[in-house]
Amino acid sequence: MTYLLLSNLSKYYGNTLAVENFNLEVERGEFVSFLGPSGCGKTTTLRMVAGFEVPDQGNILLEGEDITYLAANQRMVGMVFQSYALFPNMNVADNVGFGLSVRKMPAEQIRQRVSEILKIVQLEDLQKRYPYQLSGGQQQRVALARALAIRPRVLLLDEPLSALDAKIRVELRAEIRRIQQELKITTVYVTHDQEEALSLSDRIVVMNKGRIEQIGTPFEIYNYPQTEFVASFIGQLNLIPVQVVDREGGLYRIGGQTIQVEQNHRTPLSSQPKLAIRPEEVKLGQVEGWNQLTALVRQVSFLGAIVRIWLEVEGVSLLLDVFNERKLVLPKVNEKVVISFPHHACWVL
């Protein structure tokens, strides 16, 4: 049986479509992310699961129980907000113990559970501090502990890291995943940051304009995007206009140069077909049996582990990423080079 089932959910605000025909099955213990640009309906969907919004259509089932219209405070669903939402009048221990004291748990037991959970988020020494005495990262850990203390059936997080500095963000990201695995808690995570979604999730739901574009593992989403939106929203993608030579045979032309595409994941050909290829799939130099193109070097930028090279092919720009090594020989600007990529690494949209 599916642990959490969202079936055919739709929600409108007046005439604004927020979410439409949303279908998703989440397994027990799974970490699922909603990823998409701002305004695509991620928060709205999450709030329907939390019980803060009622869908106009569809159902939500948790462990087989229909919770579509159940009050938020009856759902046993933990929620972490972007703004932390700690209770300013309570110290850390009281914040974390709030959900337990609401449930009339004996004080001694609350104290134990609070210490236990604060140990997991590594804040056991700060029990007596007030929220304003904590850094953003610490506040969000407290908020996470508070949501986890009630042992929720599902943990929901709405852009929990967006308000934090880059460094803390990456740290806490790893922490969230570790805690999730340790407690084996079913988690739905909302973000507009693809790196977050890719690094954290078992599966990603890519959304656009209130609809699901694709559901899959980070590997599937990145390597086998099913729509142009997914392909260009996640990761860097080169899109080069092509002329069709032989569609069935996978033959296309860029200017005067011909390329071969393995049509292993075809999408409907648009009126202006484009060759799609990730920058890291393109190599400098000739490789036997691969597609080859001649290109002009426009710019070389050294990013550390990766060197990004801006090329121009038949008047269209194309990115190429190489891993840095000490012995790497970098091409010069305005140099003419040959680039290669395998047939299976590219596709036509």
Ligand X SMILES: Nc1ncnc2c1ncn2[C@@H]1O[C@H](COP(=O)(O)OP(=O)(O)O)[C@@H](O)[C@H]1O
Nearer to another protein, 143 or 345 (CB): 143
The minimum distance between CB 127 and another protein, in angstroms, equals: 17
Nearer to Mg ion, 43 or 238 (CB): 43
Contacts of 306 (CB under 8 A, 6+ apart): 321, 322, 323, 324
Nearer to Mg ion, 91 or 201 (CB): 201
Describe the strand order of the beta sheet including 291-302 as a list of residue ranges. 283-284, 336-341, 291-302, 306-313, 316-323
Contacts of 291 (CB under 8 A, 6+ apart): 259, 260, 340, 341, 342, 343, 346
Check residue 194 for interaction with ligand X (CB under 6 A): no
Nearer to another protein, 78 or 225 (CB): 78
Q: Are 196 and 162 in contact (CB under 8 A)?
A: no
Residue 146 site contact among ligand X, Mg ion, another protein, none (CB < 5 to 8 Å, cut-off depends on kind): another protein
Q: Which of residues 71-110 bind another protein (CB under 8 A)?
A: 71-79, 81, 83, 85-89, 98-99, 102-103
Dihedral, 204, 205, 206, 207 alpha carbons, nearest 10: -160
SS3 content of the chain, % helix, strand, coil (to 5): 30, 35, 40
The minimum distance between CB 2 and another protein, in angstroms, equals: 22
Contacts of 17 (CB under 8 A, 6+ apart): 10, 41, 209, 210
| Four-residue CA torsion sign, 221, 227, 233, 236 | positive
Binding mask 43-62 for another protein (x = CB under 8 A): -------xxx----------
> Which member of 4, 9, 35, 41 binds ligand X (CB under 6 A)?
41
Q: Cα(106)–Cα(297) distance, rounded to whole angstroms? A: 70
Binding mask 251-290 for Mg ion (x = CB under 5 A): ----------------------------------------
> Which member of 33, 43, 127, 201 binds Mg ion (CB under 5 A)?
43
Q: Which of residues 4-23 bind ligand X (CB under 6 A)?
A: 13, 16, 18
Contacts of 284 (CB under 8 A, 6+ apart): 309, 320, 322, 331, 337, 338, 339
Q: What residues are paired with 311 via a beta bridge?
A: 297, 318
Q: Which stretch binds ligand X (CB under 6 A): 39-47, 77-85, 177-185, 221-229?
A: 39-47
Site residue total, another protein (CB under 8 A):
30
Dihedral, 285, 289, 295, 299 alpha carbons, nearest 10: -50
Nearer to ligand X, 34 or 347 (CB): 34
Nearer to ligand X, 198 or 313 (CB): 198
> Which member of 42, 113, 153, 278 binds ligand X (CB under 6 A)?
42
The minimum distance between CB 42 and Mg ion, in angstroms, equals: 5
Separation in Å, CA 251 to CA 263, 342, 348 = 10, 14, 10
Separation in Å, CA 212 to CA 46, 157, 170, 291 = 14, 19, 27, 34
Q: Cα(85)–Cα(54) distance, rounded to whole angstroms? A: 22
The minimum distance between CB 299 and another protein, in angstroms, equals: 42
Residues that bind Mg ion (CB under 5 A): 43
Residues that bind ligand X (CB under 6 A): 13, 16, 18, 36, 38-44
Residues that bind another protein (CB under 8 A): 50-52, 71-79, 81, 83, 85-89, 98-99, 102-103, 130-132, 143, 146-147, 150
